[in-house]
Amino acid sequence: MNNKKKILSVVLALILTLSTVAAVPSGAVAARVDPAASGDADQYVYTDKNGNEYIWEDDLSEKPEIVSVITEVHNVSGELVLPLYLIGYKDDVCFDGGDKFYFADSAFDTVDTDFPITSIDFSQMYSNFGVDRFMDHIDHFKEACPALQTVIGRNGAYEIEHGSATPDEADSNESYIELNGGRLYYSDYDGYLYFTRAEGITGDVEIPDHINGKPLVYDRASTMIEDCPELTSLTIPAEPDGYGVLFYYIRNCPKLKTITFLDEHPSINGSKIKNCPSLERIDTPNCDELHCENGLLYDGSRLVLALGKSGDFTIPSDVTVIEEYAFSNCPDLSSVTIPASVTKWVNAFAGQKKLKEATVCKGVTNIDSSAFQNCTSLEKINIPDSAERIGYWAFLDCVNLKQVNIPSSVNEVPDGAFMNTGLSQITLLPEVTTISDYAFGDPFADREKNKDFTIKGMKGSAAEEYATKWGFTFVPLSGAKLGDADGDGEITPVDATLVQRFDANMKISVDEAALMCADVDGSGTLDVVDSTLTQRYLANIAIPYPIGQLC
C-alpha cells in the first residue's frame, strides 16, 4: 500500500448520479472496492497507465441531473493534468459529462503546501466545459491554492492574476480594436475571432458581432469584461447558430446599470455577472422565460440574480430555486428571509460579507450545500424543525457565527458544515446519529483546540461518541426542554406567565433550578425577553432560539 501511495499523483472523488457505470477507458484497469464508506453507493477505482488512481461512485440520492465532482486532490506537485476520460469519452458513455463537470469548493483543501500546484491542464478534455466551471470559481480556488499560476484550456493558456484569468501574451496571437475609450481583444482561430477580454470600455457599449468581416464569438475559457469603472450599459450580440450557449464574465463594473443579451439563451448566473452593485436590469429576447421584476431576474420560479438589493430582504414566496451566487451583485445585503417554498439553494448566499442574519422559514426542508459559506459577518441563524438536511460546507468560514441550533428533524452533520465558525458550543440531540469527522473543523489538526469546544448531548449518543473520539468537551443534557418553565415537557402559555411572575418578584411554586430552562436567550437571567420569545414561539413567529429542544 505504501508503494502504491508513492506513485499516486491525483486522487479524485467523482460523484456520478448515473444508474449505470461509464465504460472503462482504454488502457485503464478497473476494480470494485468496498462501498461501505459511501452507504449503498457502489464505488469504483480506475488506474491509468501512469499509475494514477481515480475514485468515484454512482449515487442517485442527491439530485436527478448528471454531475461529476472532483472533491480531493492529493500528492500533486507542479502541473495537474486532467485526463480526457475524467468526464467520459464523448461516444463511449451514456451522458455528456462535460457540461456537468466541476471542482467542489473544497477540492484543494487537501493540497499539501509541500506539493504546490502551479498549473492545471484541461486541454486533453474534448470540450472546454471543465475549465469553464473552474473559472467560474477561480477566486475561491486561487485562495485555496495560492501557488496556482496558469490554467490551460483547449483555446490556450491563461495566466492567473488577482483571482482572475487573462491571456498569456507569450502564447497568444491576440489582436484588438479600439472600442468606447478602451480595447476589445480577440484571437484569430479556425475562421472565427474569439473575443477574450475588454479593457477600459466606458459609457454605453455594444459589442460588435463581426470584425473585418469575420464573426466574433466568445472564448469559453475567459471572455472577460471586468474592471471597467465607467461602463454604464452593455449590449452583447447573439452567437452564430449551433455554436452553443452564450456566456460572458462581467465583473467589477460599479456603474453598470443594464445588460442586454441579444442571444435567446444566454447563460446567466452570479459567478459570471459579479460585483456590479448598480445593476438594475438584464434583458434577453426570451422575455417570457427570463425577465426582470422588482430588481430580481427570474426564470419561472427560479431566482437567477438579485439586482442591487441591500439591507433587509425577503425572498418572494413563489421562488423554489435560488441559483448559485444569486446575490453576488448585492454587497450591502445585511439580512435575508428564506420562504418555505425554497427547495434548492446551493451557494445561494456564499461570500456575502455583510450578511449578519438569516431567517429560514418553517417549511424549508434543507440548508443546502455551501448556502452561507464565507458569510463572514453572519452572527446567528435559526434552522426550523422542518429542515431534514444540512449540506456540506453550509456554514464554512462563517467566522462570526456564534449561535445556531440543529433541530431534532436533522439526523446528520456532514463534513465542513460548521468548519471555521465562531461557535464555541453546539447542542446535538439524540436524533443526530451521524457526525462526519470534519463537521466542526479539522479534528486531526485541531486536537489542542477541540477541548475548548463544548458539545452538549445525551449520554450514550452519537454526540458523546464523537466528542470522546476527538477530545471535545462533552456536557450531558438533563432531558429538560428549553422554554419549559414548569417542567411538564410541553411549551405552553403557562411557561411564559411563570417567567413574567418571576421577573415581577411574585411568588411561584416552581423550583428555581428547573425554572432556568425558560432562559430562552441564554443570558443567565429570567426576564421579559424570555417570556416574549416564548410567546412569539407559541404564535409561530420565527425566533433565533431552539425553544422546545433539550437544554
Reply yes or no on whether the pLDDT at 65 is more than 70. no
Give the pLDDT score at 271: 82
Categorize the per-residue pLDDT at 82 as very low, low, confident or very high, splitting at 50, 70 and 90: low
Reply yes or no on whether the pLDDT at 535 is more than 70. yes
Reply yes or no on whether the pLDDT at 408 is more than 80. yes
Give the pLDDT score at 99: 36
- How far lies 184's CA from each of 194, 206, 462, in Å? 11, 11, 59
Categorize the per-residue pLDDT at 521 as very low, low, confident or very high, splitting at 50, 70 and 90: confident
Q: pTM value?
A: 0.63
Average pLDDT, integer, range 402-420: 91
Backbone angles phi, psi at 537, to 5 degrees: -60, -45
| Rounded CA separation 19/41 (Å) | 10
Average pLDDT, integer, range 291-309: 86
pLDDT, tens digit, 9 for 90 and up, residues 172-219: 457 889 999 999 988 877 677 888 888 899 999 999 988 888 888 876
Question: What Rg value do the Cα atoms of the chain yield, rounded?
Answer: 26
Give the pLDDT score at 132: 64
Give the pLDDT score at 39: 37
Q: Which three cell numbers stand for residue 98?
A: 462535460
pLDDT, tens digit, 9 for 90 and up, residues 497-515: 989 988 888 888 776 766 8
Average pLDDT, integer, range 380-409: 91
Reply yes or no on whether the pLDDT at 319 is more than 90. yes
Query: Residue 274: exposed, middle, or buried by beta-carbon count in 10 A (0-12, 13-18, 19+)?
Result: buried
Query: Residue 231: exposed, middle, or buried by beta-carbon count in 10 A (0-12, 13-18, 19+)?
Result: buried
Q: Which residues contact 230 (CB under 8 A, 6 or more apart)?
A: 181, 202, 203, 255
Reply yes or no on whether the pLDDT at 83 is more than 60. no
- How far lies 369's CA from each of 73, 290, 395, 418, 514, in Å? 20, 25, 9, 11, 38
Give the pLDDT score at 150: 81
| Whole-number average pLDDT of the chain | 75
Give the pLDDT score at 66: 36
Reply yes or no on whether the pLDDT at 55 is more than 50. no
Average pLDDT, integer, range 23-41: 33
Give the pLDDT score at 143: 72
Give the pLDDT score at 433: 95
Strand partners for 543: none
Q: How many residues make up the chain in this entry?
A: 551
Categorize the per-residue pLDDT at 94 as very low, low, confident or very high, splitting at 50, 70 and 90: very low
Residue from 356, 453, 462 nearest 410 by CA: 462
Residue from 135, 172, 161, 125 nearest 248 by CA: 135
- The Cβ of residue 275 has, within 10 Å, a number of other Cβ atoms equal to 17
Give the pLDDT score at 508: 83
Q: Which three cell numbers stand for residue 515?
A: 425554572
Using alpha carbons only, what angle is made at residue 220 by residues 219 and 225, rounded to the nearest 5 degrees? 60
Instruction: Give CA torsion, residues 156, 160, 166, 170, to 10 deg.
Output: -60
pLDDT, tens digit, 9 for 90 and up, residues 331-385: 999 999 999 999 999 999 999 999 999 999 999 999 999 999 999 999 988 899 8
Categorize the per-residue pLDDT at 142 as very low, low, confident or very high, splitting at 50, 70 and 90: confident
Edge-to-edge strand list for the sheet holding 302-306: 291-293, 296-299, 302-306, 321-322
Per-residue b/e over 466-479, b at no fewer than 16 CB within 10 Å? Answer: bbeebebebeebee
Give the pLDDT score at 70: 58
The single-letter code of the amino acid at 172 is S
- Cβ–Cβ under 8 Å, residues 319 and 343: no
**Of 132-141, 189-198, 350-359, 421-430, the least confident:** 132-141
Of 151-165, 208-222, 531-545, give the range with the top mean pLDDT: 531-545
| Rounded CA separation 269/289 (Å) | 15
